[in-house]
Structure 1
Amino acid sequence: MRKKWFNVMAAGVMVVGLLAGCGSDKNEKTDASPSAGGSPSASSAASSPASSGEKVHLRLYTFGPEATYNWSNTLKSYEEANPGVTVEAVVLSDKGDTQEAMKKLDLAFASKENIDVLMFSDPAGYAQRVSLGMAEPLDDYIAKDGGFKVSEEYKVDTTLNGKVYALPGKFNPWYVLLNKDHLDEAGLALPTDWTWDEYADYAKQLTKGEGTSKRYGTYFHGPQGGGWMEFLKLMMMNQPKDSDFLKADGSSNLADPNYKRTLELRVRMEKEDKSSVPYSDIISQKLAYRNQFFNQSASMLTIGSWMNTEIGGTDKLPLTFHVAVAPFPKNDKADQIGYSPVTTDYTAVSSISKNKEAAYKFVRWYTTEGQLVQGKNIPAWSKVSNDQVTPIIDTILAATANPELVDKDSLTKTLLMSKASEMIPAASYQSEVYKAVNEEYEKLILGEQDIEATVKNSQERAQQIIDANKK
C-alpha cells in the first residue's frame, strides 16, 4: 500500500522546491527554563543529541506560521540548550491553512524531501498519514525516555491502534467568541453556563438587518470538503464519551441521537431563524471565519482556542469592539458544562528521517518545556498547573494589538473549566467517513433531502466504508 501511494503521489509532483523554510528577524530573549515541577523525562529528552560532536540539522514541516507559533524564539531556545543541533521550520502555509499545508506535506513526503519532524492538525489527518507510513512509532523511544504513559503525561492521548506515533503540543479546547458590544446592545448577559437552545436564541436576538449589510448572530465555518467536521458534531462533542462519528472500535456512531440533533440545530438556525450565515455563502464566497467575526458580520463565533493569539486583534484584522468568551454549549440543562472538542498539534517523527533519535528528542522537548517557551498556547503537558495558566494567557494577550478590549476573566474561566471528552483513536478510514457525511449534509442544507434521509444515507455510506476497510 505504501509503495503504491508513493508512486501515485510522486507522479503528481510537478514542481521542484515546492517548500521553503520560514525565517524571522525576531530574536527576543525567551526564558527557556522549565517549570519548577518539570518532569525528569522531559529534561532528559532535552539533552543534546549531538553530544558525540556530530552536528545535526533537523527540518520541521509545519502548518503553523511564525506569527502564531513563535518559531524563531522557540527553536533558538532549543538550539542554545543543545549545541550542535539546528532546527529549521518549514512553514507549509503562511496563513496557517491546514488543508493547504497537508497537501504540500504529502507531496514533499512523496518526493522524499529531508523531513525529520511532522505536524498534523487533526486526528483524522494524523491517523490517515500513520496508515500511509509517514510517522515513526515512538514507543521504543518513550521506553528509553523513562517509559511514561502518554495518557498521564499529556491531556490528550495520541495512542493509535496500541502505538504512539506523535506527542501532543497545545491544548486548545473550543469555545465561543462573542461581540460584547452586540450583547450589551441586545441586553443579553454574558453566558457562563448555557445550552445549544440558548445559543440559538442568542443568535436569533443578535441577528440584525437584511441583504448584504445583514449582521448574523453566528457563523459556523464548516463542514467543508470533509474538513471542519466539528460543526456537524456540535451536540456530540460535548459528551464525556462517544463524541465522534466513529466509536473506539471503528464502528459507526451515527445512530447517536445527538448527530440528528446537530442537523436539526443547523437547519433551524439557517433556514428558520435565519440567524447563521448560509452554507451556500460560506462555500461559494470562500468566507473566512476570522473576517466574519472581526469585521462584525457575525456576533458569535464557535471556534478553537488557537484564536487566543489573535483574540485581541492583529495588524491584518484589528479588534475594534469588546470581545468576551463563553464555554462550549451543552445539550441539556442537566449536563455538565465544560466538555468540548479539543485540538492539538500531533507532533511526529518522520519515518524517512535520517536523524530519528534527535528528532524524537526535539519532539519530546517541544511538547513539554518547549510549549512554555513558545508561549502561544495552553500546553497539553499535564505538568503545567492551573496557576501557570494565567501568566501564559497574559503573555499571549500581550502580543495582540488591543488586549485591553478582551474580557480576560471570561477567557481564563472558560479555559480552566474546559475538558476533553474521552479520546477516540482515529480510524485510518475516518477521513473517508467525514467526506461522506459532509456530502450528505450538503444535500440537506441545499434542500435536496430532509433530515431523516440525511441520517439514513450517512449511516449507510459510513457502514460501506467501514466494511470495505475491514476486508
Structure 2
Amino acid sequence: MKKRRLLTGAITSVLMISLLSACGGSNNGNKEAVAPETNTPTTSNETAENVNLRLYTYGTEEAYNWSNTLKAYEDATPGVTIELIQLSDKGDTQEAFKKLDLEAASGAEIDVLMFSDPAGYAQRVALGMAEPLDDYITKDGYKVEEDYKVDTRLDGKVYALPGKFNPWYVLLNKNHLDEAGLAVPTDWTWDEYADYAKKLTKGEGATKRYGTYFHGPQAGGWMEFLKLKMENQPQDADFLKADGSSNLDNPTFKETLELRVRMEMEDQSSVPYSDMISQKLAYRTQFFNESASMLTIGSWMNTEIGGTEKVPLNFNIAVAPFPKNNSEDPTGLTPVTTDYVAVGANSKHKEESYKFIRWYTTEGQLVQGKNIPAWSQVKSEQVEEIIDTILSGTKNPEKVDKKSLVDTLIVSKASAIVPPSSYQNEVYKAVNDEYEKLILGTQDIDTTVKNSQERVNQIIESNKK
C-alpha cells in the first residue's frame, strides 16, 4: 500500500508536464494484409477464460483501425476481450498523456498502455507505470534488437515493444517541382534541400508560397526540427549522448541552427517561426493548402498523403528521403517514431497483456494495415503491398508517386537510438527556449549554442543521483 501511495504521488506531481507529440492519423483501409512466413512465436489459444484487458491509447479509430485489429485478436484468442480506452478523440498525445496520468494516479487498473515518444516513455517507466518484459521475452526465445527495428531498452531492461516504424521523409508538391523544372530527389543533402526551397518559393505578402515549412520546435515538442543535421548520423543523434552527457558540442547542432537561420531569415524560403507560433499553424494545412511546397515530417502521413475527407488532395505528391549532411554520407538515416506498447505495472493479467502486445507489435500490425511495422520479419519486398493497403484507404491514391514513396521507405533506417533520460523534457524545453531567442532575433548563434550547453549541463547535474 505504501508503494502504491508513493507511485500515485509521483505521478500526480508530473501531470502538467508537456510531452512531445508525434501525431499521425487518417482514414481506414479495408484491404487485408498478408502476414509473412515466420517462426516468430504467436499468441496461444490456450488462455484463461473471460479475461478483459484494458488498453489505454491516444490512437484514434481512423489512425489505428482498432475495430478490425482488436476483433482479429479476440477471434484468435477465445476468452480474452480488449476494452479500448481512447484518451483523445483527435489523437492528441499531450491530452492523452495528461488523462493517462490522472487514471494512474487514481489507481485505475491499466493492462496495456501506449507511449508516443521516447521521453514520455522514459518518464513513466521511471514512475513505475510499466512492467519489465525481459522474463517474458526470454521465455519466448527472441531478442528485441533482432526481432524489431527499434530497440526499446531503458537501463538495460525492456518495458515496451515497438509497434509502427515511421521514418521521417520529405513530402513534395510534384506540381510545384514540375513548374520549377526540379526532379524528385532520390539522394540529397540539406544544402540541396535549401536550394530546392529557395527555387520553389514564389510571391510576396499574404499569398506568398514558401519552399518549405518546419513545424517546430514548440514548447519543448517537435524537437526533431532542431536536430535536422544530428538525426541523420549513425551515432549521437540526439541532444544527449548514451552516457547521459550533453551532445550540444557536436558541430551538427550548430549547423542545424545555421540552416534554420539561413532558410528563414536570409533566403526567406521557410515559413517564419513567428507565424507558426502566433497563428498556431498546422503542418497538414500548410502543405495540403499549397502554402508550402515541401514538408519534412514522419511517415505516419502515409495514411493521409492520398487525401482524406477532412484534408482533400488537389495536386500530385512525391516523396524523397530525409536529407543528409554531405554527399558522401550514407543515404536514408533518419529519425524514426514508434508506439511504445507496454504492460501496466498494476495489471492483474500481465501474462495475457504481454501476449497481446507481442501479437499486436508483430502480426497485429499487418492486420491493422496503417503503418510499416517495426517488426523485422517484414521484408523489403512486402513494403509495396503494405503501401497499397494503406493508400487504398485514401481518397486519391493515384495522385501519389508510389515508387518514390516505396523507394524512400525501403532506404530509410534509424540511427542508433539514444536511450532517453527521465529528464529529457527539461532538456528539450531549455534548448527550445534558447532557439526562440535566436530565431526571433534577440541573440546570435554562438550565444545560443553557449547558453543551450550551460542550461543542459545544469539540468544533467541537478538530476544526478
TMscore range, shorter length = over 0.9
Give the superposition deviation at 1:7: 2.8
Match of 2:310 among 316, 325, 344: 316
Query: Which residue in 1 is equivalent to 2:55?
Result: 60
Deviations 1:301-350 (A, max 9, x none): 00000100111010000000000000000001111111000111111111
Inter-partner Cα distance in structure 1 for 2:416 and 2:14: 38
Give the superposition deviation at 1:219: 0.6
Query: Which residue in 2 is equivalent to 1:128?
Result: 123
Give the superposition deviation at 1:241: 0.7
Give the superposition deviation at 1:114: 2.7
Deviations 1:44-68 (A, max 9, x none): xx11363x4x311111111111111
Give the superposition deviation at 1:447: 1.3
Inter-partner Cα distance in structure 2 for 1:110 and 1:201: 51
Inter-partner Cα distance in structure 2 for 1:39 and 1:381: 13
Amino acid aligned to 2:449: V
Query: Which residue in 2 is equivalent to 1:93?
Result: 88
Query: Which residue in 1 is equivalent to 2:20?
Result: none
Deviations 1:17-57 (A, max 9, x none): xxxxxxxxx996956x6321x2332x1xx11363x4x3111
Change (3 A) 1:156 1:89: same
Deviations 1:131-152 (A, max 9, x none): 1111111111112222x11100
Inter-partner Cα distance in structure 2 for 1:253 and 1:90: 38
Query: Which residue in 1 is equivalent to 2:24?
Result: none
Query: Which residue in 1 is equivalent to 2:18?
Result: none
Give the superposition deviation at 1:290: 0.8
SS at match of 1:218: strand
Is residue 159 of structure 1 aligned with residue 185 of structure 2? Answer: no
Inter-partner Cα distance in structure 2 for 1:289 and 1:197: 22
Inter-partner Cα distance in structure 2 for 1:247 and 1:456: 18
Query: Which residue in 1 is equivalent to 2:342?
Result: 348
Contact 1:27/1:73, CA 8 A, preserved across alignment: no
Match of 1:436 among 430, 433, 441: 430
Deviations 1:364-413 (A, max 9, x none): 00000101111111011111111111100100011111000000000000
Change (3 A) 1:309 1:460: same
Give the superposition deviation at 1:94: 2.3
Is residue 107 of structure 1 aligned with residue 114 of structure 2? Answer: no
Inter-partner Cα distance in structure 2 for 1:188 and 1:256: 33
Query: Which residue in 1 is equivalent to 2:8?
Result: 6
Identity %: 72
Is residue 225 of structure 1 aligned with residue 227 of structure 2? Answer: no
Give the superposition deviation at 1:112: 2.1
Query: Which residue in 2 is equivalent to 1:259?
Result: 253
Using structure 1 for the length normalisation, give the TM-score: 0.92
Runs of 4+ in structure 1 deviating by more than 4 angstroms, as ranges, are 1-5, 8-13, 26-31
Match of 1:141 among 114, 136, 139: 136
Match of 2:189 among 178, 195, 209: 195
SS at match of 2:460: helix
SS at match of 1:458: helix
Change (3 A) 1:197 1:362: same
Inter-partner Cα distance in structure 2 for 1:406 and 1:386: 20
Amino acid aligned to 2:84: A
SS at match of 1:308: helix
SS at match of 2:130: coil
Query: Which residue in 2 is equivalent to 1:464?
Result: 458
Is residue 453 of structure 1 aligned with residue 455 of structure 2? Answer: no
Amino acid aligned to 1:70: N
Query: Which residue in 1 is equivalent to 2:288?
Result: 294
Contact 1:30/1:73, CA 8 A, preserved across alignment: no
Give the superposition deviation at 1:12: 9.8
Query: Which residue in 2 is equivalent to 1:39?
Result: 39
Amino acid aligned to 2:35: P
Inter-partner Cα distance in structure 2 for 1:353 and 1:221: 37
Deviations 1:134-182 (A, max 9, x none): 1111111112222x11100101100110000000011111000000001
Amino acid aligned to 2:171: L
Query: Which residue in 2 is equivalent to 1:118?
Result: 113
SS at match of 1:221: coil
Contact 2:55/2:112, CA 8 A, preserved across alignment: yes
Match of 1:48 among 45, 48, 53: 45
Gapped regions of structure 2 (runs ≥ 5) = 16-27
Is residue 364 of structure 1 aligned with residue 358 of structure 2? Answer: yes
Contact 2:11/2:127, CA 8 A, preserved across alignment: no
Query: Which residue in 2 is equivalent to 1:18?
Result: none
Change (3 A) 1:133 1:230: same
Counterpart mapping for 1:353-392 below 5 A? 353-392=347-386
Deviations 1:177-200 (A, max 9, x none): 000001111111111111101101
Inter-partner Cα distance in structure 2 for 1:48 and 1:423: 35
Using structure 2 for the length normalisation, give the TM-score: 0.94
What's the RMSD between the two structures over aligned residues?
1.9
Amino acid aligned to 1:47: S
Contact 2:29/2:391, CA 8 A, preserved across alignment: no
Query: Which residue in 1 is equivalent to 2:22?
Result: none
SS at match of 1:40: coil
Give the superposition deviation at 1:10: 4.7
SS at match of 1:373: helix
Inter-partner Cα distance in structure 1 for 2:288 and 2:7: 41
Amino acid aligned to 1:134: M
SS at match of 2:373: coil
Deviations 1:267-294 (A, max 9, x none): 1111111111111111111111111111
Inter-partner Cα distance in structure 1 for 2:7 and 2:213: 37
Contact 1:2/1:133, CA 8 A, preserved across alignment: no
Match of 2:396 among 399, 402, 405: 402
Give the superposition deviation at 1:457: 0.7
Contact 1:136/1:165, CA 8 A, preserved across alignment: yes
Deviations 1:45-96 (A, max 9, x none): x11363x4x3111111111111111110000000000011111222222222
Gapped regions of structure 1 (runs ≥ 5) = 14-25
SS at match of 2:211: strand
Give the superposition deviation at 1:109: 1.5
Give the superposition deviation at 1:2: 8.1
Inter-partner Cα distance in structure 2 for 1:30 and 1:6: 42
Contact 1:74/1:370, CA 8 A, preserved across alignment: yes
What is the total number of aligned residue pairs between the two structures?
Answer: 452
Inter-partner Cα distance in structure 2 for 1:261 and 1:452: 11
